[in-house]
Amino acid sequence: MDHLTAMRVFVAVVDAQGFSAASRALFMPLQTVSRKIAELERHLGAQLLVRTTRKVTVTDSGQRYYEDVRRILEDIDDAERQVSGEYSSPKGRLAVTAPTLFGRLHVLPIVIDFMKIHRDIKIQLFLTNDVVDLVEHQVDLGIRIGALPNSSMIAVEVGAVRQIVCGSPRYLSQEGRPVDPGDLVGLDCVTYPRADQSVEWMFKRPSGRVRSFPVRSSLTLNSIEGHVRTALLDGGLVQLYAYQGASHIADGKLEIVLEDYEKDPLPVHLVYPQSGRIPQKLRVFVDFALPRLREHLDLVASQCSATRKARSRKAS
């Protein structure tokens, strides 16, 4: 039996709270995961997990073994990084995760430029709108949009993004431009599918109070690209993060409405696990990516604010 592999599989099952989830996280067949756990339990002569049709429960012996094994695996990983030189020179695999569209628009170009300079670092870029557990999935760096929960992660703020409502000039000229969030019940809005039929968008009143307003959901789509495309085709109003529509706003194909009622911008952070020493591969990537991401977000902000200034000049 490969003890090290079996230990890693066991930790993955406990972290994922199930065999199927661990199988997906490890990219390992479910049958192999089950076999590794069975082999480990036979070797130890102890039951580590109690399996039912609905969940997996860790036994008392399994919990003690899990804590010891996790510490051992972390020590092994740390030793391997030291021997391979990750702490003394930038090399090795660097795993990064980011929201899907933000990653394609802003992170991928930075990664490509970074790879041209640091040939000894191999990048694995995971683009997903799910919040990835960095420790569980052995990801070095995550990019998060929104308020961060309290955690042991190191977080470096990159900037902020607005949540905006926009539509095409033709749609706004034909159907009318909303001047208050309450006007949205009379306009076509594109929303995401929900279990219930009520759809509300959040706005901030001039008093500072944030409250929800009902909207008329004329079309539901589970794709942000579909939302943007619908707005460009004069199909109604959409609620986006500013970066998702900035280029179309800059060239006049979309216009922002209800700017005075927007909630506070959402922070964008780089986050990575806290440890005694930061591998050089991570340090050089953060140093490289941080100013470029800030530049990208500054550009988004300028693209979205320029249209407001232009309309103000036109109105005066």
Sheet of strand 237-241, all strands in order from the earlier edge strand to the far edge: 217-220, 189-191, 237-241, 163-167, 255-257
User: Which is the CATH superfamily of the domain at 163-264?
Assistant: Periplasmic binding protein-like II (3.40.190.10)
Q: What is the pLDDT of residues 24-48, one digit of tens each?
A: 877 788 888 888 888 888 888 888 8
C-alpha distances in angstroms, 285 versus 97, 141, 160, 249, 270? 13, 9, 20, 31, 11
Residue 280 pLDDT > 90: no
Domain 92-159+266-302 part of CATH 3.40.190.10? yes
Residue 85 pLDDT > 80: no
d(CA 144, CA 269): 5
d(CA 129, CA 68): 33
100 SS3 class = helix
Reported as a pLDDT band with limits 50, 70 and 90, residue 82 is: low
CATH architecture of the domain covering 3-84: Orthogonal Bundle (1.10)
Contact 65, 3 (CB under 8 A): no
pLDDT score for 84: 60
Q: What is the mean pLDDT of the chain?
A: 87
pLDDT score for 275: 67
Sheet of strand 121-127, all strands in order from the earlier edge strand to the far edge: 121-127, 92-98, 141-145, 266-272, 154-161
Q: What is the pLDDT of residues 158-204, one digit of tens each?
A: 999 999 999 999 999 999 999 999 999 999 999 998 766 668 999 99
pLDDT score for 316: 44
Average pLDDT over residues 143-166: 89
DSSP track, 287-309: HHHHHHHHHHHHHHHHHHHHHHH
d(CA 127, CA 273): 19
For the chain, residues classed under CATH 3.40.190.10 are 92-159+266-302, 163-264
Reported as a pLDDT band with limits 50, 70 and 90, residue 55 is: confident
Reported as a pLDDT band with limits 50, 70 and 90, residue 307 is: low
Residue 22 pLDDT > 90: no
d(CA 240, CA 33): 41
d(CA 138, CA 128): 15
